Structure 1
Amino acid sequence: METNNHYFYVLECADGSYYAGYTNDLQKRLEAHNAGKGAKYTRAKGPVEMIHHESFETKSAAMKAEYAFKQLSKPQKIHYIAEGKEDGK
């Protein structure tokens, strides 16, 4: 039985801002953002680059991680992403 992957991801926009979201297909979602068909926030701030993602077994867990990330300050978000990259995420 194949498991569904649920992802929390972070994009860096062309203006240096971050966008956090949820998807079950990272590549398709990144392409949608860069085609102007993603979130309203990223339409005017493209192109975007995926700088972080985490995989979860459930949609709920991925969305909780997204929510927690959105509550962080910009310096905390930078640290969080740096820590994730050190862990190979």
Structure 2
Amino acid sequence: MDRNRHFQPAVYIMANHKSGTIYVGVTSDLPKRAWQHREGVVEGFTRRYGCKRLVWFELHSTMEYAIMREKQIKGGSRGKKIALIEAANPEWRDLFFELSS
């Protein structure tokens, strides 16, 4: 099995509900990481606040770019994060099931 089969740097936002608590993260395997958040298998912020809904993501060519973008988003205001989500996903749909389609 190719360990890098799913390597695709991404920045993503998880939420517990529309306009609720949000979490910004970076990963090299978005389907796996989003599943971990949904199932609560990793202790931390998303599990504590129930952020199980993938509401926004952006794919990048390298982890370096993805990490730079994550820092940029995290450094912005909550309003800017919400605007980013709502520009692409105004209903705050859970995009998890669209990852494999």
TM normalised by structure 2 equals: 0.71
Counterpart-to-counterpart distance in 2, 1:30 and 1:52? 11
Q: Give the root-mean-square deviation of aligned CA atoms.
A: 2.4
SS at match of 2:20: coil
For structure 1, which runs of at least 5 residues remain unmatched after alignment?
A: none
Distance 1:24 1:66 in 2: 13
Identity %: 27
Report the CA distance shift for 1:69/1:39 in structure 2 as closer, same or farther (over 3 A).
farther
Paired residues of 2:8 and 2:30 also in contact (CA < 8 A): no
The number of aligned residues is 85
* Inter-partner Cα distance in structure 2 for 1:6 and 1:39: 22
Q: TM-score, normalised by structure 1?
A: 0.79
Displacement of 1:74 in angstroms is 1.2
**Structure 2, unaligned runs of 5 or more:** 91-101
Task: State the distance in 2 between where 1:79 and 1:29 align.
Answer: 23
Matched, 1:31 2:35: yes
